[in-house]
Amino acid sequence: MTVPILRTLSALRSATREWHAAGETIGVVPTMGALHDGHLSLVAAAKASCDRVIVTIFVNPKQFNKASDLASYPRTEEDDARKLVRFDVDGVYAPDVSQIYPEGFCTNVSVAGMTDVLCGAHRPGHFDGVATVVTKLFTQTSADKAFFGEKDFQQLMVVQRMARDLDIPIEVVGCPTIREEDGLAMSSRNLLLSDRARTMAPRMNEIMQEAATALSQGVPFDALQATALSRLTGAGFIDVDYFELRSCATLSLLDHASEPARLFAAAWLAGVRLIDNIDVPVAR
């Protein structure tokens, strides 16, 4: 059995038109490929609540602010299609660039405010690229529901805001981060880690868990930040882009876990940028 691969917008539209005409709901799982169990958990969630499921695979050039990062992004389409067979998805939309950004394309979707912090501050233009391509994927697929991982929590918030602001009739569903047994958050970028870096990578999550425990016991963030940062650098994360406590609702900085909060971290390990975020229980 194989999964139908749709390469053009017209092929996608003729499938989705038929499904909607038959009264079926459509779920979309937007990805850039190199599928892992985190993506597959989104596919399973989509299958559980939609009649039809489309997985999109498109390595979006507009969200990479370094040409080398775009060039080295893993591309494993055949493998990806094989992994999707057991989920019986209705199609993989894997367009080439001309289907998303046709000649003369000059529109930019930009979500103000919440994109100025965290990854937005360290990857200029990244979230404009994400918001622009996700707007296209939402309107091209005309899906009723879209599934995103909390691993990219800021991205999830940006996409939810964008869909609300633009009145796109889609429900954006956030799904929990899936982790390796040693706690490392699953990410396509993990494929880029050397064997040695892979053994070091789970330390980021361990350090975050220790900090989250202290925060939930009422320790203020500024009392533990320096220790956490030096543990991260000691564990091989030489450049730390951020290690911050922020509100789940607004992404504003917090010093205490006095409201629903998350710890966010991004750091470079042996040339690979890893990000993670975890829930911090409200301090008693």
Give the shortest CB-75-to-ligand PAF separation in angstroms.
Answer: 13
Rg of the chain in Å (alpha carbons)? 19
CB of 62 to ligand PAF, least distance (A): 9
Q: Which residue type occupies 209?
A: Q
Distance CA 272, CA 196 (A): 12
* By the rule CB under 6 A, 134 interacts with ligand PAF: yes
Catalytic-residue membership of 126: no
Is 152 a binding residue for ligand PAF by CB under 6 A? The answer is: yes
Grouping H, G, I as helix, E, B as strand and the rest as coil, residue 104 is coil
Which range binds ligand PAF by CB under 6 A, 129-137, 177-185, 245-253, 270-278? Answer: 129-137
In whole angstroms, the minimum distance from the beta carbon of 6 to ligand PAF comes to: 16
User: Is the CB of 100 or the CB of 184 nearer to ligand PAF?
Assistant: 100
CB 274 within 8 A of CB 201: yes
State how far the Cα of 99 lies from the Cα of 61, in Å rounded to an integer: 13
> Tokens standing for 17?
């038109």
Q: Residue 57 Cβ, how far from ligand PAF at the closest point, in Å?
A: 9
Nearer to ligand PAF, 132 or 231 (CB): 132
Question: Both tokens of residue 282?
Answer: 């409200």
Helices 126-141 & 9-21 angle (0-180, nearest 10): 50
* Token pair 């993989």 in the structure block, residue: 92
- The dihedral of CA 14, 19, 23, 24: what is its sign? negative
* Residues composing the chain: 284
Q: How many residues of this chain interact with ligand PAF, rule: CB under 6 A?
A: 10
In sequence order, what DSSP letters do the residues of 100-127 get, joined into one string?
HS-TT--------STTSSTHHHHSTTHH
Q: Which is nearer to ligand PAF, 125 or 220 (CB)?
A: 125
CB of 45 to ligand PAF, least distance (A): 15
Q: How far apart are CA 16 and CA 11, in angstroms?
A: 9
- 212 part of the interface to ligand PAF, by CB under 6 A: no
Pick the piece of the chain touching ligand PAF (CB under 6 A) from 25-33, 175-183, 196-204, 267-275: 25-33
The one catalytic residue in 20, 39, 122, 126 is 39
Q: Identify the helix (H) or strand (E) that includes residue 234.
A: helix 221-234
Cβ distance to ligand PAF smaller for residue 153 or 221: 153
* Shortest spacing between CB 148 and ligand PAF, in angstroms: 7
Stretch that binds ligand PAF, among 107-115, 126-134, 225-233, 249-257 (CB under 6 A): 126-134
Exactly one of 27, 30, 38, 91 binds ligand PAF (CB under 6 A); that residue is: 30
Contacts of 86 (CB under 8 A, 6+ apart): none
244 backbone dihedrals φ, ψ, rounded to 5°? -140, 150
- Work out whether 157 is an interface residue with ligand PAF (CB under 6 A): no
Residues in touch with ligand PAF (CB under 6 A): 30-32, 60, 63, 130, 133-134, 152, 155
Active centre residues (catalytic) = 39
